[in-house]
Chain A
């Protein structure tokens, strides 16, 4: 049995990593942020928001991400003329007890001066963080997300049900587990509603999927990529049924939106589709946007099931890659952490792979590197959205 330890933060949450976040506050500061992080890119991860126009969702997401339990210090990189409220962001980070500094490129004297100053700050912080002590941590303190990307006709038979078994075990151990992308639950609304903790929550789950169906219908495309069809998936509802299997069999404890923290252990659906009129385009333009939203809700790590073969990882929180398709695994095994394709070949049961995933979650939480972490993957994506707060029926007592 792996004994977990974590980095205790002032809000009581514990991190399984101790990263420095280097956050650009507009695309114009992205290059400078990347150069600052580069010499220490294993521990200093670049996150940020590219837009120059203010957005409440992006502000809230950056505040959550910069105070994520896996983050030990934050360097903000501003061009100087963007609309992002850097004053408020810096104050939220300072109040969380983390070291924080803001570098404004226009004030520091441009690219080279800012990079030099930023690199020095990062090196100093990493020295401080290297002295941090880990404290005992329980499985029930973990928050785990799940996503599928590059899905094919094998995903719903092997990787997704196995991830679901791991979720069942985590929920039983008291952890908080998050599944999401309501646009990929279209067609599953009734079977999912049957698992809700209360009838009122069941209505909220149905409404979230109905909103997603409307939203995607307006945009003219489902949450379905060309490669999904190449891999044997014919319709969005077929993809949905396979994706739904990631949620396992547990009772659904609540519905949250990006940035809402699960109040206790249990299984939560994250509603990722914006509220109101269709405004800023597709809800999540690719897989990393989904991972980022679960991190904003506190996810320490993410289970990522892929059939076609996604290679991404994530900034801040490790990603466990679960290969659904044995042919893909043979080609991309170095990018994968778990070969659920063995289920297709009849070599392993869904339960066995589920157990393997659960054990790996504990190993990664204890410090073991995932394949994507070891190869330096630290993708990050945040775009514009707008949400109304969740209603009282979403989190039953």
Chain B
């Protein structure tokens, strides 16, 4: 396992994602399968990174089981989450849109 960062956890040998055991800041170098890559966006504990390039349409595998499908090509070391993965069952609900709209409205209110 020396070819991958201690901060990244491989849960099953079949997985194409790694789980962050700690928060990692944007731009920090991370070691993924022997490659040193700068982290493109900050990642929180428990979030996932691509272990290798995952082409659009390919299954996302964690715990050795399918957890969804890539909706776009995901580069090695990139954050794997709702922006590039969809469920094979029911769509994932987030408050992201509501938060963006609320924060935009709050900004308008301040001026």
How far apart sit A155 and B11, CA to CA, in the bound complex (Å)? 13
Q: A157 contacts B67, CB within 8 Å? A: no
Q: Collect the chain B residues with CB atoms within 8 Å of residue A187's CB.
A: 65-67, 88-89
Known A187-B65, A229-B81, A229-B82; contact A234-B92, beta-carbon cutoff 8 A? yes
Q: B89 contacts A325, CB within 8 Å? A: no
Interface string of A214-235 (1 = CB under 8 A from B): 0011001110111001111111
Known A235-B68, A237-B66, A237-B67; contact A153-B19, beta-carbon cutoff 8 A? yes
Q: A234 contacts B89, CB within 8 Å? A: no
Least CB separation from A216: chain B residue: B90
Min distance, Cβ B96 to any Cβ of chain A, angstroms: 8
Of residues 62 through 106 on chain B, the ones whose CB sits less than 8 Å from some CB of chain A are 62-63, 65-68, 80-82, 85-96
Q: Collect the chain A residues with CB atoms within 8 Å of residue B95's CB.
A: 226
Q: A344 contacts B21, CB within 8 Å? A: yes
Whether, in the assembled complex, B47 has its beta carbon less than 8 Å from a beta carbon of chain A, the answer is: yes
Whether, in the assembled complex, A152 has its beta carbon less than 8 Å from a beta carbon of chain B, the answer is: yes
Interface string of A181-209 (1 = CB under 8 A from B): 00000111001000000000000000000
Whether, in the assembled complex, B32 has its beta carbon less than 8 Å from a beta carbon of chain A, the answer is: no
Whether, in the assembled complex, A241 has its beta carbon less than 8 Å from a beta carbon of chain B, the answer is: yes
How far apart sit A235 and B82, CA to CA, in the bound complex (Å)? 8
- Bin the interface of chain A by size: 35 or more
Q: Collect the chain B residues with CB atoms within 8 Å of residue A235's CB.
A: 67-68, 85-89, 92
Q: A307 contacts B46, CB within 8 Å? A: yes
Whether, in the assembled complex, A156 has its beta carbon less than 8 Å from a beta carbon of chain B, the answer is: yes
Min distance, Cβ A210 to any Cβ of chain B, angstroms: 11
Q: Collect the chain B residues with CB atoms within 8 Å of residue A234's CB.
A: 48, 60, 67-68, 80-82, 85, 87, 92
Q: A186 contacts B48, CB within 8 Å? A: no
Known A226-B95, A234-B48; contact A221-B90, beta-carbon cutoff 8 A? yes
Whether, in the assembled complex, B40 has its beta carbon less than 8 Å from a beta carbon of chain A, the answer is: no
Interface size on B, residues (CB 8 A): 33
Least CB separation from A191: chain B residue: B65
Whether, in the assembled complex, A154 has its beta carbon less than 8 Å from a beta carbon of chain B, the answer is: yes
Min distance, Cβ A323 to any Cβ of chain B, angstroms: 12
Interface string of B10-40 (1 = CB under 8 A from A): 0100000001110100000000000000000
Known A153-B48, A229-B81, A229-B82; contact A236-B90, beta-carbon cutoff 8 A? yes
Min distance, Cβ B22 to any Cβ of chain A, angstroms: 8
Whether, in the assembled complex, A327 has its beta carbon less than 8 Å from a beta carbon of chain B, the answer is: yes
Least CB separation from A221: chain B residue: B93
Q: A325 contacts B46, CB within 8 Å? A: yes
Q: Collect the chain A residues with CB atoms within 8 Å of residue B9's CB.
A: 157
How far apart sit A220 and B89, CA to CA, in the bound complex (Å)? 10
Whether, in the assembled complex, B42 has its beta carbon less than 8 Å from a beta carbon of chain A, the answer is: no
Q: B92 contacts A236, CB within 8 Å? A: yes
Least CB separation from B43: chain A residue: A232
Q: Collect the chain B residues with CB atoms within 8 Å of residue A152's CB.
A: 46
Q: Collect the chain A residues with CB atoms within 8 Å of residue B63's CB.
A: 156, 241-242
Q: Collect the chain A residues with CB atoms within 8 Å of residue B66's CB.
A: 187, 237
How far apart sit A229 and B19, CA to CA, in the bound complex (Å)? 14
Known A152-B46, A191-B65, A232-B48; contact A157-B90, beta-carbon cutoff 8 A? no
Interface string of A222-263 (1 = CB under 8 A from B): 101110011111111110011000000000000000000000
Least CB separation from B69: chain A residue: A235
Pick the contact of A237: B11, B46, B68, B94 (CB < 8 A): B68
Since A224-B90, A226-B94, A235-B68 are in contact, a sample of 10 more A-B pairs with Cβ atoms closer than 8 Å, ordered by chain A residue number, is A152-B46, A217-B89, A222-B91, A232-B46, A232-B47, A233-B46, A236-B87, A237-B65, A241-B62, A344-B21
**B residues with CB within 8 A of A:** 9, 11, 19-21, 23, 44-48, 60, 62-63, 65-68, 80-82, 85-96
- Provide a sorted-by-A list of 10 A–B residue pairs whose CB atoms are within 8 angstroms: A153-B46, A157-B19, A220-B90, A232-B19, A232-B47, A232-B81, A234-B81, A237-B88, A307-B46, A344-B21
Query: Which 3 A-B residue pairs are closest in the complex by CB-CB distance?
Result: A153-B46, A235-B87, A232-B47
